[in-house]
Amino acid sequence: MSYMDGFVVPVPKGKKQAYKEAAAYAAPIFIEHGAIRVVECWGDDIKEGKINDFRTCVIAEEDEEVVFSWIEWPSKDVRDAGMAKVMADERMKPQEGQDMPFSGARMVYGGFSVLLDERA
């Protein structure tokens, strides 16, 4: 069964296009190293929670929106090997003078085993 890496990250609203371009650049690298699917979703209907919500979990500021994304892998073993290759890939190294279009320090992420996968 598939294995998922999930991410929630705050992105300045003015950097939406830069984030989309960075994601579009990285996605084929993940796929080249074994990922099946890379999905990036821009928040546009995030409800305020009584205790916690997507915005508070990443300490999103007023001028930021929340991105929810995931990478699907065929298995955890493929993910572990593929992620190691992605992190070692020279194309993923920050370029001099290039700013990341999001706050990596406030990103929430983790790996998940699939419990249920229903489709129409």
Decide: 111 and 76 in contact? Cβ < 8 Å: yes
What is the rounded CA–CA span in Å between residue 14 and residue 64? 8
What is the rounded CA–CA span in Å between residue 2 and residue 37? 11
Closest CA relative to residue 1, chosen from 67, 79, 106: 79
99 band by pLDDT with thresholds 50, 70 and 90: confident
44 band by pLDDT with thresholds 50, 70 and 90: very high
Please name each of the domains of the chain with its CATH number.
Answer: 1-91+103-111 (3.30.70.100)
**Gyration radius from the chain CA atoms:** 15
Counting beta carbons within 10 angstroms of the beta carbon of residue 104, is it exposed (0 to 12), middle (13 to 18) or buried (19 or more)? exposed
pLDDT attached to residue 97: 63
Q: pLDDT tens-digit profile of 65-89?
A: 999 999 999 999 999 999 999 999 9
